[in-house]
Structure 1
Amino acid sequence: MTTLPPPVAIEDFEGPVTPKAFAALREQGRPAILRGLVADWPAVGMANQGDAEIIGYMTRERVPRPVAAIATKPGAHGRFFYNDDVSGLNFVKGTGHLEMFLADLLKARDMPDAPGLAVQSENIAEIMPAFARENRLDLLPSVPPRIWIGNRIRVAPHYDVKENIACCVAGRRRFTLFPPNQIANLYPGPFELTPAGTPVSMVDPLAPDLAKYPRFADAWQSAQQAVLEPGDAIYIPYCWWHGVESLEPVSILVNYWWNDEEPEGIAGPYDALLHAIAAYRHLPPVKRDVWRGMLDYYVFEDNGDPAAHLPPHAKGILGPPEPGLFAKMLGMIRGALG
C-alpha cells in the first residue's frame, strides 16, 4: 500500500452558465465544476436546513411505486464493490418504499459503523413529480433527471457512455476523475459482473496497492478532484472515469445523462465493443493486425473518407448517416449473426 499526493483540482467554470457558454465548455472536452448552479433549488434550501427537513420535503407526496435499493454490511466502509475473490458483489439489492428507506437513512446517522445504503438512478418524475417540477435544470430542459440517495458511500471509478451533469443537493461529495485514455492504468474489472453498469476500476483510490496495480500511479498523475457543496454541480465529459465519495450521513445527488450529438438510429458503441472483443481479440496476431488496419480505414478514417472515390449511388453503408442507413446496417448484422 502507498499514499499518493493529492490530485490537481478540477477547474471551476467562471461566469454565468448560459447555453452558449456551456456549449463552448463541452467542445473543450474537459470536466468543470459549476459552482452554485442549482443553489436556488427548493430542495437545496431544505437540505441546508437539515437532514430531517430535506427528507420531509421528499416524502410530502406519495411515491407511486417501489424503488430499488442496495446495502453493504457494516465493515465495508460504504464501498460498493466486489467480494474478496471477485465472484460476486459485496452488497445486496432489494426494493421497497422510499419513505422506509429514508427513515432507515436517518436511523443510520448515529451508528458507529453504519451499513452503506443507497437508492441509485431513479427517474425523479416517476417517483416524486412535485420534486421534479420544483427543481429544474433549464440548461437541459428535455433530459430526464435521476436521483441518487445514500449515506457515506463510495462508488468505484467507472465511465458512462454519455455526458453528465451531476448536481449536489444534500451533503458534500468528492469526485475524482480520470480521462478516457487512462483505461489501461485503471485496471478495469470484468464486463459480466459490475457494480456500476460499465466495468469499474479494481484499484481502491483511497488505498491503492501499487505492488498489485503499479500503473495506477501513472493514472493518478492525470487525476482531477473536487468536492461539491450543496448547490454545486459538475460536468463530466463523455466516457471520463469518475469515482464518487459521499461525505455526509445524508447525501442526495440529481444527475442528467444525455447523448444529443449522435445520429438518429446509430448502433450502440458499447455493444459494438463487446462484439469486437468476441470477433477480434482471440485471432492470431497477424489476423488481428489485418483487422486493426480495416478498422482504422473504415471506422476511424485514418486515410480520410473511405468512400470518397465512389459515386454517391454506390457508397452504400459508407454513405452519409441517416436512420435508414443505420437500419440497413443493423439488418446486415442481424443477418450475419443468424
Structure 2
Amino acid sequence: MQAIKELAGLTRQGFEQEVLQDYRPVVMRGLVSDWPLVAQGRAGLEACLQYLMAFDGGKPVDAVLARPDPARAFGYRPGLSGFSFVHDKRPYAALFEQLWRYSHFPDPPALAAQSALVAEVLPGLEQANACPLLDAAVRPRIWIGNRASVPAHFDDSHNIACVAAGRRRFTLLPPQCAPLLYMGPPDHAPTPAPMSVLPNLQTADAERFPLVRQALEQALVAELGPGDALYIPPLWFHQVEALAPDLNILMNYWWRDAPAAQRKDDLHLAAMRLAMLAFRHLPDGEREGWRALFEHYVFGARGESLAHIPADQRHMFGELDVKADAAIRKDLIAQLGKP
C-alpha cells in the first residue's frame, strides 16, 4: 500500500488547479474543521445527535442494519444470493434512539442511515456547514451510523467526503485495478454502483482471492478524523470503513462535469452495460477485434490521429451540435427498439 498525497489550507482555486487536474485522490486536512457539526461531533454522541435533531424535518430516511460479524459490511451475502443487510425507512428520531441504545452494547449490529440529501431531511444543516471548495448548487448528502464498512466500489462522479464525527478509513484503488478486485455483477449490487464481493480487501483469503495482493500493492490508504476531507476522482474504487464504535458522520458532495448540450446525463454506466450485452456471445477473437475498435473510436481518435479528416467533416469524430446529437440518439433508440 502507498501513501496518499495530503494538502492543508487549500483554496478553491488551488483545488481546481492542483487537485482536479491530477486525477488522483487527495486528503485535505482540516478542510471543514470550523463546521459547527464537527464541534458537536467532538462533544460526544448525545450532544451531536441533539444538534442534528434541531434540523430534523421528520422525513423518513433509508436505514440499513447488518450483523455484528467481523467485517460489519453492507455488501453481499456469501454466494451472492442476496445482501448482508436489511433495509427499511425510519425517521431520524428512531435511528438516533437506536444508535444511543447500541452505544451501550459491547458488540452491536452495524446501523447506518446512508446517502440522505441534507436539504430534504435536515434542512438548514448544509448552510450552517458549507464546503468551502464548491458552489452551493452541489448539494451534500449525509451518512450517519456506528461502526460499519462498505466494500470496494466506484462512483462515476467527483466526490469530496468530509468527516464530521468519528473516524473513517478509505482504501482507494485506480480503475485499472478492476480485474483484481473480484467485482460482482453490475446489475446485481447492493448499491447503484458495481461492488466487490469481498467484504474487506485487507482481510480477504489470499488463497481463494490471490489477485487482491496485487491490488493492495497499488492501493492508497487514508484515515480521516473530524474536520478532514478526501477528494475521490470519478471511477476510483474506494472501500470505506467507519471506525468509531458509537457514531460516525460523513457529509459528501457528488458532482459531474457538465454533460453535452441538451442532455441530462451522459449515461456512462448505461453505455458500459449495453456494451456488455452486445458483445457477450461473440467468440474471443471477434471480441478482441471489438476491443481494438473501441480503443480507437471511443478512446483514441483525437488530435493528430484525425489530421487526415477536414475539421468540418469529422461528424462523430468532432464536435456535435444539438441537432446532430439528437439525430444520433434517435437512431440508437430505434436500433435498440428492434426485436
TM norm structure 1: 0.92
Moved more, 88-97 or 55-64: 55-64
Distance in 1 (CA, whole Å) between partners of 2:269 and 2:257 is 16
Q: What residue in structure 2 maps to residue 32 of structure 1?
A: 26
Distance in 1 (CA, whole Å) between partners of 2:323 and 2:7 is 40
Distance in 2 (CA, whole Å) between partners of 1:118 and 1:324 is 46
Q: Does residue 238 of structure 2 align to residue 239 of structure 1?
A: no
CA drift of 1:336 comes to: 0.5
Name structure 1 gaps, 5 residues minimum. Answer: 1-6
Q: Is the 8 A contact 2:301 2:317 kept in 1?
A: no
Q: Does residue 59 of structure 2 align to residue 65 of structure 1?
A: yes
Q: Does residue 288 of structure 2 align to residue 293 of structure 1?
A: no
Q: What residue in structure 2 maps to residue 18 of structure 1?
A: 11
CA drift of 1:321 comes to: 4.0
CA drift of 1:323 comes to: 4.1
Match of 2:164 among 169, 185, 207: 169
Aligned partner letter, 1:68: D
**Length, aligned pairs only:** 331
TM norm structure 2: 0.91
Structural RMSD (CA)? 1.9
Aligned partner letter, 2:82: G
Distance in 1 (CA, whole Å) between partners of 2:305 and 2:273 is 24
CA drift of 1:100 comes to: 0.7
Q: What residue in structure 1 maps to residue 283 of structure 2?
A: 284
Q: Deviations over 1:158-200 (max 9, x none)?
A: 1111111000001011111111111111111122221232221
Distance in 1 (CA, whole Å) between partners of 2:134 and 2:218 is 29
Name structure 2 gaps, 5 residues minimum. Answer: none
Q: What residue in structure 2 maps to residue 227 of structure 1?
A: 223
CA drift of 1:322 comes to: 4.3
1:143-222 equivalent positions in 2, closer than 5 A: 143-203=138-198, 204-222=200-218
Match of 2:260 among 251, 259, 263: 263
Alignment partner of 1:140: what SS? coil
Q: Does residue 250 of structure 2 align to residue 253 of structure 1?
A: yes
Aligned residues: percent identity? 36
Alignment partner of 1:300: what SS? helix
Moved more, 192-201 or 30-39: 192-201
CA drift of 1:64 comes to: 4.3
Q: Deviations over 1:262-299 (max 9, x none)?
A: 43426311111001111113212232233223222221
Q: What residue in structure 2 maps to residue 90 of structure 1?
A: 84
Alignment partner of 1:136: what SS? coil
Q: 1:310 to 1:217 in 2, by over 3 A?
A: same
Q: 1:74 to 1:49 in 2, by over 3 A?
A: same
Distance in 2 (CA, whole Å) between partners of 1:323 and 1:237 is 28
